[in-house]
Amino acid sequence: MWKRLQEIEERYEELQRDYENPEIVADPANIQRIGKLSAELEPIVRAYKELKSLQKALDDAESALSDPELKELAQEEIPCLKEQIENKEQALKLMLLPKDPNDEKSVIIEIKPGTGGDEAGLFAAELLRMYARFAERKGWKYEILDKLETGINGISYASMSVNAPGAYSVLKHETGVHRVQRVPKTEAQGRIHTSAASVVVMPEIEEVDIDIKPEELEIDTFRSSSAGGQHVNKTESAVRIKHKPSGIIVSCQDERSQIQNRERAMRMLRTKLYDLREQERMAEQGAARRAAGGGDRSEKIRTYNFPQSRVTDHRIKVDMHNLQAFLDGELDEMLDALTQDEQMRKLAEHVSQNGD
């Protein structure tokens, strides 16, 4: 690890010298490249310098053990310094782990009700609101790309985008089946029902990242409609796009402009095509998909128990007794725990393969 850290520090210093080279920075593309790489390496280099400083302090303290006047002070400092060094080394090991190339991307989230009839549609709508509230709390921009409502304030489908650097690294673990246990409003005898909704979190893909040929598309327009089939406008502003090679169909009707709806639909199509290719690639690698953070979409990942005001994440065996706050977007504690679990699994895998 120390050799790799030294190489990273040397590379970082080389980049800083490049900044001062007029011939290199004359090209804006070089400035962008240097800036991006410097930003990636800087936290590692800063932590490495802190580690070297701690190690020097430990060496000095251990040398002071032979000095009668400094021995007592050194004995007090050494355990603390060793603990700090251990923590810093652990942090650096995590920083050196291979990163998911999609972690810095924005996301598109799809939500669909599963088993449970009308109650599942209501729960799906609550999950949509939960992620919207989470984005608001983070100060992230979000927008509802498409939403099909039912007549009882539920949804039969929804997709939303969360536009923020790093949103995928935070939200990717939400992919899977979410289950709710509660007494539905329509239940006269007070029996607890179990319903479910599925969530899929995908990194949003830019136009340059995936090539879609015009001849591969079948584009239809239709009139936007609200729940119950009532037309909300008289023009065919809604757009449905079919990607003929894959069979993927996306539609958008939330905007008044056909151009805006088409742009949104194309964003969804690019993302879903990329996601399909990733699923196919990961399927070839079997269990590697879980380690990469993609998750099994049929896996029951979390239960929202209303009678006990409890949220349980089944992957990391964590219970939180703040159900209402959780549904209001207070997800940070759970998401941090999931991220930490992913890092620990990756670190354990790295150690088993490399022995360091």
Q: What is the pLDDT of residues 168-208, one digit of tens each?
A: 999 999 999 999 999 987 666 778 999 999 999 999 987 76
285 and 291 in contact (C-beta within 8 Å)? no
- Provide the pLDDT for residue 355: 55
301 and 312 in contact (C-beta within 8 Å)? no
Residue 221 clears pLDDT 80, i.e. is over it: yes
pTM here is: 0.72
| Shared domain check, 305 and 205 | yes
Among candidate residues 52, 74, 96, the one where a domain is terminated: 96
| Shared domain check, 192 and 233 | yes
Closest residue by Cα to residue 111 from 90, 95, 125, 94: 125
Query: Does the residue 355 lie in any domain?
Result: no
Using pLDDT thresholds of 50, 70 and 90, give the confidence band for residue 225: low
Q: Running DSSP on this structure, what letter comes out for residue 312?
A: E
Q: Running DSSP on this structure, what letter comes out for residue 185?
A: T
| Shared domain check, 191 and 67 | no
Query: Does the residue 49 lie in any domain?
Result: yes
| Shared domain check, 283 and 222 | yes
* Structural domain count, the chain: 2
226 and 149 in contact (C-beta within 8 Å)? yes
- Provide the edge-to-edge strand list for the sheet that holds 248-252: 217-222, 238-243, 248-252
293 and 173 in contact (C-beta within 8 Å)? yes
Task: Report the mean per-residue pLDDT for the chain.
Answer: 86
Using pLDDT thresholds of 50, 70 and 90, give the confidence band for residue 356: low
Q: What is the CATH number of the domain that holds 181?
A: 3.30.70.1660
| Shared domain check, 289 and 192 | yes
Tell me which residue range forms the domain holding 278: 107-343
Closest residue by Cα to residue 275 from 198, 205, 174: 205
Report the distance separating Cα 289 and Cα 6, nearest Å.
32
Q: Running DSSP on this structure, what letter comes out for residue 214?
A: G
Secondary structure (H, E, C), 153-169: CCEEEEEEEEECCCHHH
| Shared domain check, 143 and 242 | yes
pLDDT in tens, 327-341: 999 999 999 999 989
The greatest distance separating any two alpha carbons of the chain, rounded to the nearest whole angstrom, comes to: 91
pLDDT in tens, 268-304: 899 999 888 888 877 766 644 444 444 567 789 999 9
| Shared domain check, 204 and 158 | yes
pLDDT in tens, 17-57: 988 888 887 888 888 888 888 888 898 999 999 999 999 99
Residue 323 clears pLDDT 60, i.e. is over it: yes
pLDDT > 90 in the chain, percent: 49
**CA-CA distances (angstroms) from residue 177 to 153, 196, 303?**
21, 7, 9
